[in-house]
């Protein structure tokens, strides 16, 4: 997302957002944020159906910042608006919930692994019993009285 869109989202001025980023530049590595070149900004502003003149002029004076998903989340921790604070709290709660779900998933995975081992052992016993019953040496012996020279 571009800085002016995020400024609107976080309910701050774009100038304030950019100042916060510059004051906390170590929090925004290249995989969190980067600056658009003039050519990139020109392509975006020309392809947009709704272009505001302030955005158009700004691209010529200042290079815009573009933020990745991680950069958007990091912005919520460096901005002081109440909306940014609320978003930051929501992000932290989401991480806690995600960690809990991963923990639950790990327990489930362990239970499934135990069940697989038990089933393999049981099926191994059944497989051995079937092989024994179907092997040639396990044919039942004929029992009863036999007369010499007499066939069935």
Give pLDDT tens digits for 8-56: 988 999 999 999 999 999 999 999 999 888 888 877 777 554 444 445 4
Q: If you average pLDDT over residues 62-91, what whole number do you get?
A: 89
Gap between the Cα atoms of 64 and 41, Å rounded:
8
Tell me the H-state helices in 24-65. Answer: 38-47, 53-61
> What was the pLDDT predicted at 48?
55
Q: How far out from the chain centre does Cα 26 lie?
A: 25
H or E stretch at 121:
helix 82-134
3-state secondary structure of 77: helix
Higher pLDDT, 147 or 79: 79
> Is the pLDDT confidence value at 2 over 80?
yes
Does residue 60 or residue 129 have the better pLDDT?
A: 129
Judged by average pLDDT, the poorest of 14-23, 82-91, 101-110 is 101-110
Whole-prediction pTM: 0.56
- pLDDT > 90 fraction of the chain, expressed in percent and rounded: 22
């Amino acid at each position: 997302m571009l800085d002016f869109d995020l400024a609107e989202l976080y309910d701050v001025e774009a100038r304030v957002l950019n100042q916060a980023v510059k004051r906390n530049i170590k929090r925004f590595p290249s995989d969190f944020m980067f600056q658009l070149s003039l050519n990139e900004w020109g392509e975006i502003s020309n392809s947009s159906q709704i272009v505001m003149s302030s955005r158009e002029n700004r691209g010529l004076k200042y290079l815009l910042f573009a933020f990745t998903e991680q950069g958007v989340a990091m912005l919520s921790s460096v901005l002081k608006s109440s909306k940014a604070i609320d978003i930051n709290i929501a992000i932290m709660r989401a991480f806690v919930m995600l960690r809990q779900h991963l923990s639950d998933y790990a327990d489930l995975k362990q239970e499934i692994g135990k069940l697989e081992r038990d089933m393999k052992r049981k099926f191994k016993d059944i497989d051995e019993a079937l092989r024994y019953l179907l092997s040639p040496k396990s044919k039942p012996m004929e029992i009863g009285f036999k007369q010499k020279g007499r066939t069935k």
